[in-house]
Amino acid sequence: MSLYPEIRMRRVRQSPALRRMLDMEPPGPGRFIWPVFVVPGSGVQQPLDSLPGQFRFSPDRLVEALKPVHNMGIGGILVFGVVPDANKTDNGCAAWEPDGPAVEAVRAVREHYPDMAVFTDVCLCGYTRHAHCGLLDASGDVDNDATLAPLARMATTHAKAGATAVCPSAMMDGQVQAIRQALDTDGFNNTMIMSYSTKFASGFYGPFREAGGSSPRHGDRRGYQASYGDSRRGLLESALDEAEGADILMVKPALAYLDVIARLRERTNLPLAAYNVSGEYAMLHATAERGWGDLHALARESIMGIARAGAEIIISYWANQYDQIMG
């Protein structure tokens, strides 16, 4: 093989036209899902200090905020219901209330934007007093098997409201199977399951937990979320969810786990999503605010990295700013 000076890599980078020709195409807006936080009531649009450009919306204000997002061609939203502390219980029963904020949001979005995919988060952490992702047993540990029925009930409630897909994030063993069986029994055979199939116990969730009011009141979630030091077991989680009937798999977070995204892409033929989480988003904002980088350039590069690793679907807080970031 000849080397320099015969080989000059700069030849293929010397003009914008050549770079456009050879570079990977940026992911289009239809591949993005925008995570949104929905609260009860009307006329509410509360800015989130730790997530600049993001808000807690009441369903009516979400509908308004979605107009430019829909016009950009963003493919869907991922709805997180946020309820007041007074509505939280030990069993999280507000999670399946037929008039809860997530359910009302699904109905409103389906009415106003019928061609937009609506995904809903299925987890108990935002609805329980203890803020763990499942029910607790007498010793205060999360009871995996007792949690499956509430998760399934929450999922069918969302399906009845018109959700395109339900997204179990609790990381309970058997949750996808339980939800699939419940959906099919209730006649929702076409409701998809996008599973948080490889979800790591990460330090990048802080801004999300503040926005959703879902920080555990005691302990942590390392007993049920995957360990970031053990990627093989993390990949096994996705293989098991695929076997249980998941339609779409997901890796969460994204930027610190590009290797896991790439390895999972090689192992499955299912669509693969990556969740570009709150801490990753906030980190870039903090960098730009200190003058250490251009915000849009940082966002664009991080998104391209996620797509290059193999994610077909990108769940990101940048989605509502797609025209500024990727346009």
Q: Would you list the DSSP string of 106-130?
A: HHHHHHH-TTSEEEEEE-STTTBSS
The DSSP 8-state label assigned to residue 225 in this structure reads: S
Please state, as a whole number, how many other Cβ atoms lie within 10 Å of the Cβ of residue 97: 18
Q: How far is CA 146 from the centre of its chain?
A: 24
- All residues at 6 or more sequence positions from 21 whose CB lies less than 8 Å from its CB, including other chains: none
Q: Would you list the DSSP string of 279-318?
A: HHHHHHHHHHHTTSS-HHHHHHHHHHHHHHHT-SEEEETT
Phi, psi of 66 (to 5 degrees): -80, -15
The answer to whether 199 is a known catalytic residue is yes
The answer to whether 88 is a known catalytic residue is no
CB 317 within 8 A of CB 325: no
**Distance (Å, rounded) from C-alpha 208 to C-alpha 199?**
14
Token digits for 266? 């090689």
**Distance (Å, rounded) from C-alpha 300 to C-alpha 148?**
38
Question: Nearest 5°: CA angle at 254, between 177 and 162?
Answer: 45
274: which strand partners?
A: 251, 314
The helix (H) or strand (E) run that includes residue 57 is strand 55-57
List active site positions: 199, 252
